[in-house]
Chains A and B, each alone.
Chain A
Amino acid sequence: NAGVTQTPKFQVLKTGQSMTLQCAQDMNHNSMYWYRQDPGMGLRLIYYSASEGTTDKGEVPNGYNVSRLNKREFSLRLESAAPSQTSVYFCASSHFSGGYTDTQYFGPGTRLTVL
């Protein structure tokens, strides 16, 4: 099992450009998440998807859109990148579909720089 995979690993954008970060999991998990990690701030939830076809806002959703393409894949799109979106982005997945919160499994991350 590859677990959670993310592409690309690194990306540099100019202000105003758009891009999509890809995430896939092979653990048959129901839930998937997108976080951003900034120095001194831990991980903050951008969006999550409880199941295929559903998405919901997290703590910091402004400037982002997501798509849960199928059970395996969950993409994050920046329509018009801004320097404030320079960060490391992590995708995660878990079995959770209601009831007790459970373990989240994280991908290796995408380091994004917006100039």
Chain B
Amino acid sequence: GENVEQHPSTLSVQEGDSAVIKCTYSDSASNYFPWYKQELGKGPQLIIDIRSNVGEKKDQRIAVTLNKTAKHFSLHITETQPEDSAVYFCAASTGGFKTIFGAGTRLFVKA
């Protein structure tokens, strides 16, 4: 079945620096790749997503890139702020109802 690996598990950056989180997936049929942000004590919330017919997508300080050949996708956060501190999850879906999540990255942004 599908497997999603996410790295690093913990990431600490200075405010204003960039943060990059990387994921790889195993099923070449995967066609939808969402990223979720989970703040302490809350449920995950979608921050950006990308479909397999697109190589890159950007939304203000957040961007996601997808390399279908390498089965690899990444989240880039620029100009990080303390409120970006949270756990981030990547995920992959082949369509349908089942989405496989990565193990999560805990991001600390130091002021």
Q: In the assembled complex, how far is the CB of residue B9 from the closest CB belonging to chain A, in whole angstroms? A: 7
Interface of A is mostly: loop
Q: Which residues of A contact B100 (CB under 8 A)?
A: 59
Contact B89 A42 (CB under 8 A): yes
Q: Number of A residues contacting the other chain (C-beta, 8 Å)? A: 27
Q: Which residues of A contact B31 (CB under 8 A)?
A: 100-101
Query: For residue B4, which residue of chain A has the nearest CB?
Result: A42
The answer for the CA separation of A100 and B2 in the assembled complex, in Å, is: 17
Query: For residue A49, which residue of chain B has the nearest CB?
Result: B97
Contact B43 A108 (CB under 8 A): yes
Q: In the assembled complex, how far is the CB of residue A41 from the closest CB belonging to chain B, in whole angstroms? A: 6
Query: Known contacts being A103-B34, A104-B99, is A43 close to B93, with CB within 8 Å?
Result: no
Contact of B14 with A by CB under 8 A: no
Question: Which of these, B45, B95, B102, contacts A42 with CB under 8 Å?
Answer: B102
Query: Known contacts being A101-B93, A108-B42, is A40 close to B32, with CB within 8 Å?
Result: no
Interface positions of B (Cβ within 8 A of A): 1, 4, 6, 9, 31-32, 34, 36, 41-46, 49, 51, 89, 93, 95-104
